[in-house]
């Protein structure tokens, strides 16, 4: 039986989501790898500022971030 090797997933296959603690369906999502690591050099200045803000506000304004599959496919 032949098997096809799994294709490596790139960073855009996943997003790191920071859900808002106050408004359902709101929050931030940033492209990441399967481990939740965000490449900040690929973010725009505004997205980078939002990422750092969300990361610093976990437990106060945002829930624990979660790695989820991207909806781009």
Q: Which residues make beta-bridge pairs with 56?
A: none
Contact 23, 6 (CB under 8 A): no
* Token duo for residue 50: 């939002």
Q: Find tokens 């090797």 and name the residue.
A: 5
- DSSP per residue over 52-66, as a string? HHHHHTBTTTB---E
pLDDT at 42: 95
Give this prediction's pTM: 0.79
The candidate with the shortest Cα–Cα distance to 25, out of 63, 73, 69, 67, is 63
- The one-digit pLDDT tens for each residue of the chain (73 residues) are 444 344 445 546 999 999 999 999 899 999 999 999 999 999 999 999 999 999 999 999 999 999 999 876 5
């Amino acid at each position: 039986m032949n098997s096809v090797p799994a294709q490596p997933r790139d960073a855009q296959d996943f997003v790191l989501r920071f859900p808002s603690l106050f408004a359902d369906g709101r929050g931030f999502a940033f492209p990441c790898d399967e481990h939740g690591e965000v490449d900040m050099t690929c973010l725009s200045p505004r997205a980078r500022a939002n990422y750092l803000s969300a990361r610093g506000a976990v437990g106060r304004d945002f829930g624990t971030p979660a790695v989820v599959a991207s909806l781009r496919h």
